A and B are shown apart, each in its own frame.
Chain A
């Protein structure tokens, strides 16, 4: 993209701008990488924020000829490990080498995952309004689960359940969208 990369330390303002532009372009990827290990959104975002701070501190060591995202993901993995060590539940979930295995396997599955996720938008479009607005509230507006439960007249548990069901429906939809269409029964 930029044929003449600026050496970061020579101009702090330019370095900031360059960092921000690189980071923003990678942020989604880094988040997905962290979330593969710590899927809970608030926790994963915490880790991404902490990662961003480290990345800025280490930006002088970044070689602009290398792709930014893998560089950032290495720090994200370290941050995730440090974070996990303080949380017993997450440690229990990922111990015994499972974290490393997930990272590895996810990389292998990447083409498959990406080709399925391409259908996510059209699958969202097929959801009934009530389900779409729940997903929107939870993932996009980031309304708390209590608020979503209260506004739909459900219990918190039922709201979680509903989210789970909508995700499964979306998953079936994106998986089917990837297959050659067989159509309905005649």
Chain B
């Protein structure tokens, strides 16, 4: 066994060492690599250090338990809770070193308190949102991702790492401007905005002038673009390079210094240790990749049709109180029809301000919330044991401290506020009877800068029977917390994308809560949807046949 760096095998060997589950073969290969490659050695040291820090620094964890969102009171809850947290005593599953440690426990507690006092000032750090992404997934046709990884989101950002595509086609656009179409099965690693490596698979790269110098490394050759369109076919022990436009420079990966330039219509094959030989470029072999654009457009249009079919079935659900599908642009400039079959109970919505824009598919409309007065007003009568809210949104920015998704007017008992806090936390405020009695149920920060400009499915389930509140992003539960306020819950007069504070003090900075972004579907159910229901809602038609 021989390890290269970087590679998934290196990742696995290092993880094996951390978990103590590595083989002797891995140990020998890792030893050899770490002695010969200083880059791999430094990376190894950093990874092990992170692991050791997680294992030895108990403070790290007690702290994360406190990341609660608190609407309105802005930070004061943290101050009181910090005094009653669990001390990181050394008894948490660790064997005690000496019998007499217990006798000096007081001493340990003092130390523990010392650590706590020290970490109190760190809370502000969590706000420094940065993006790790260097590329985005721009298109996909029948893409099947390896079950080993979490599937990347279409339209979503891609961070440096491995893409393992089992079949289908995807288009990756690097932030340098280089566009790569990849055909599965493929193992492709995104390294930087202008560099990638490919272990196996077929790809075409289109590199605009500003991305010149875009590099793809394969086991057999290093290919550097000089302004071009080229194709690579990487298989067991062999790399084929085809240049369709412009020119490309390549060097054998074996370290040979001989850089060669290949121009339009030509190509090269490198196999094993033999010097590469020149071939002529074969456009036909990459035809399916060049078709990707067309097929992607077709996939989008069929996605819209599938959603329409799923949407009309959804409207039969008797628990669906409100369904704004935003699919009837300009039936009037202010009325938003409630498409739900149960619509007798709930009137249509009223659009205040807002502009129509493009939705999840090019042909589908969505409502854009731009200014501080933009909103959709609606009234939902009745009391409910449980409620579920779900929406497809494209967030432009988190401009306010509290950005309203859906908020009942004012602060009345039994009502709720569904919002995104400016640090990316999803929150549901449930207001109980009596002044100052409300519960804020917050997710961890889940809406980062990377999520802006992309359609996201957000949902929250208020389960009065199970006494739980769950937040979801793209069909996945991101948090679940106990609900302390008793049903019945009410909606009454409420707003999408804004808030009518009513009796709230006029000069309060939390008064302005307008949402900045677009919405292309909103559902309100009078029951608690299950994880599977939310997943199905997110996937639309894909699972319901």
Chain A residues with a Cβ under 8 A of chain B: 16-17, 20-21, 24-25, 28, 31-32, 35-36, 39-45, 49, 52-53, 56, 88-90, 92-98, 101-102, 105-106, 109, 113, 116-117, 119-122, 124-130, 132, 135-136, 139-142, 145, 160-161, 163-165, 167-168, 170-174, 176-177, 179, 181-185
Task: State the CA gap A91–B47 with chains docked (Å).
Answer: 20
Decide if B128 touches A136 in the complex (CB within 8 Å).
no
Decide if A36 touches B48 in the complex (CB within 8 Å).
yes
Q: List 26 A-B contacts (CB under 8 A).
A: A17-B107, A28-B57, A35-B52, A39-B48, A40-B17, A40-B19, A49-B95, A89-B24, A92-B27, A93-B17, A109-B45, A120-B54, A120-B60, A121-B59, A121-B119, A121-B122, A124-B61, A125-B444, A129-B480, A132-B444, A135-B61, A141-B93, A164-B12, A167-B54, A176-B132, A182-B131
Partner of B11, one of A35, A168, A172: A168
In the assembled complex, the CB of B39 is this many whole angstroms from the nearest CB of chain A, namely: 12
Task: State the CA gap A43–B54 with chains docked (Å).
Answer: 15
Partner of B478, one of A40, A129, A163: A129
Contact status of A106 and B45, CB under 8 A, knowing A28-B57, A35-B56, A136-B61: yes
Contact status of A145 and B19, CB under 8 A, knowing A16-B100, A32-B49: yes
Contact status of A184 and B100, CB under 8 A, knowing A92-B31, A105-B42, A161-B148: no
In the assembled complex, the CB of A9 is this many whole angstroms from the nearest CB of chain B, namely: 18
Across-interface contacts of A184 in B (CB, < 8 A): 131, 133, 157, 449-450, 452
Partner of B60, one of A94, A124, A126, A163: A124
Secondary structure class of chain B's binding surface, majority of residues = helix
Decide if B126 touches A185 in the complex (CB within 8 Å).
no
Task: State the CA gap A132–B478 with chains docked (Å).
Answer: 11
Across-interface contacts of A116 in B (CB, < 8 A): 46
In the assembled complex, the CB of A165 is this many whole angstroms from the nearest CB of chain B, namely: 8
Contact status of A160 and B50, CB under 8 A, knowing A49-B95, A109-B42: no
Across-interface contacts of A117 in B (CB, < 8 A): 49-50, 53
Decide if B98 touches A52 in the complex (CB within 8 Å).
yes
Decide if A177 touches B128 in the complex (CB within 8 Å).
yes
Q: Which of B31-84 contact A (CB under 8 A)?
A: 31, 34-35, 41-42, 44-61, 63-64, 67
- Chain B 152-176 interface 0/1 with A at a Cβ cutoff of 8 Å (1 = within): 0000010111000000000000010
Contact status of A170 and B50, CB under 8 A, knowing A122-B125, A140-B92: yes
Across-interface contacts of A168 in B (CB, < 8 A): 11, 161
Across-interface contacts of A139 in B (CB, < 8 A): 54-55, 61
Contact status of A28 and B56, CB under 8 A, knowing A125-B67, A167-B51, A184-B450: yes
- Chain B 420-463 interface 0/1 with A at a Cβ cutoff of 8 Å (1 = within): 00000000000000000000000111101110100000000000
Decide if B128 touches A101 in the complex (CB within 8 Å).
no
Task: State the CA gap A99–B497 with chains docked (Å).
Answer: 59
For B471, the closest partner residue in chain A by CB is: A129
Does B104 touch A at the CB level, under 8 Å? yes
For B50, the closest partner residue in chain A by CB is: A171
For A16, the closest partner residue in chain B by CB is: B100
Across-interface contacts of B23 in A (CB, < 8 A): 89
Does B539 touch A at the CB level, under 8 Å? no
Chain B residues with a Cβ under 8 A of chain A: 11-12, 15, 17-24, 27-28, 30-31, 34-35, 41-42, 44-61, 63-64, 67, 92-95, 97-98, 100-101, 104, 107-108, 111, 119, 122, 125-126, 128-133, 148-150, 157, 159-161, 175, 443-446, 448-450, 452, 476-480
Across-interface contacts of A132 in B (CB, < 8 A): 64, 444
Contact status of A121 and B52, CB under 8 A, knowing A52-B97, A96-B31: no
Decide if B125 touches A172 in the complex (CB within 8 Å).
no
Closest 8 CB pairs of A and B: A40-B20, A35-B52, A142-B93, A164-B15, A184-B449, A93-B27, A92-B27, A122-B125
Decide if A120 touches B128 in the complex (CB within 8 Å).
no
Across-interface contacts of A170 in B (CB, < 8 A): 50, 54
Across-interface contacts of A163 in B (CB, < 8 A): 15, 19
In the assembled complex, the CB of B247 is this many whole angstroms from the nearest CB of chain A, namely: 29
For A90, the closest partner residue in chain B by CB is: B27
Partner of A93, one of B31, B54, B445: B31
A101, A116, A168, A174 interface centre (most CB from chain B within 10 Å):
A168
For B22, the closest partner residue in chain A by CB is: A89
Partner of A95, one of B11, B31, B56: B31
Contact status of A17 and B104, CB under 8 A, knowing A125-B445, A129-B478: yes
B15, B28, B92 interface centre (most CB from chain A within 10 Å):
B15
